[in-house]
Amino acid sequence: MILYIYPGLIWLAVLLSIPAFFVVDAQNKKYHRLIFAIILMVAVLETYGAYSILNSQNSSLFHNLLFVHAETLLILYFFYLNFSLKKVRQSIIISALLLMMWALINSLFFQPITSIFQTYSFLPSAFLLIICCIYFFYSLIKEEKYQNVNIVSVPTFWIVTAIMFFYACSLMFFAAIPLVNPQNYALVYKVYYLIRALSILMYLTMGLAFYVPLVIKSQKIPS
């Protein structure tokens, strides 16, 4: 029963996000479609993951392909859509290409994509996403289009906040695992469940973020 709670809550985020297709404004539609695709992908992945555990199968291939790599690239694309400066957009494209090259090298020589979770690929991906989050918050202060806007009414603000919180915690967790004494792995599992809870919070935030403008009034964000 507990095994299905995690994918079940992510499916809840998917369901909560569906009505937003009919109420989200034109400016946020492209963001909503992308975020919805991410949540749906993760829901399918985690459902398969639960099935794999019940049937004693290794789902590392799909978790690496979809969570470590595909989700990272999709979130980078989300930031690409948010940022307007050409140099920043080019940096995102170059970073994405470097991540894909490193993913191939890691899969071939260090961590086989079919057998284990690729922490060597996840850590730089998480670090890059955190950098994008920091730049997003910096742009909130510097860019003119946000100066007359109530920031908490902007859906992307909540999405980026959730992304940064989850990936910052996940980065510290996976980076610290090699340093943990095997005798203390019971504590590692407890922290792992906390990370899972944070991921649920992130996906639920993604699913609900586009309703914020309906609750919190704000000026229309200039395009």
DSSP letters spanning 118-175: -HHHHHHHHHHHHHHHHHHHHHHHH-GGGTTS-GGG-HHHHHHHHHHHHHHHHHHHHH
pLDDT of 222 reads 46
Please give the chain's pLDDT, 223 residues, in tens.
667 899 999 999 999 999 999 999 888 999 999 999 999 999 999 999 999 989 999 999 999 999 999 999 999 999 999 998 999 999 999 999 999 999 999 999 999 999 999 999 999 999 999 999 999 999 888 876 677 788 899 999 999 999 999 999 999 999 998 888 777 778 888 899 999 999 999 999 999 999 999 998 766 544 4
Burial code of 43-58, b = ≥16 C-beta within 10 A, e = fewer?
bbbbbbbbeeeeeeee
According to the CATH classification, is domain 2-215 in 1.20.1070?
yes
Rounded (10°) angle between helices 71-82 and 86-109: 170
The pTM of the full predicted model, rounded to 2 decimals, is 0.94
Nearest-angstrom CA–CA distance, 163 and 79: 11
Structure tokens, 205? 């935030």
| Contacts with 95 (C-beta within 8 Å, 6 or more apart), sequence order | 76, 128
Backbone φ and ψ for 177, nearest 5 degrees, come out as -55, -45
Cα-to-chain-centroid distance, residue 49: 18
Task: State whether residue 184 is helix, strand or coil.
Answer: helix
Handedness of CA 164, 168, 174, 175 (dihedral sign): positive
Query: What torsion do the CA atoms of 194, 198, 199, 205 make, to the nearest 10 degrees?
Result: 160
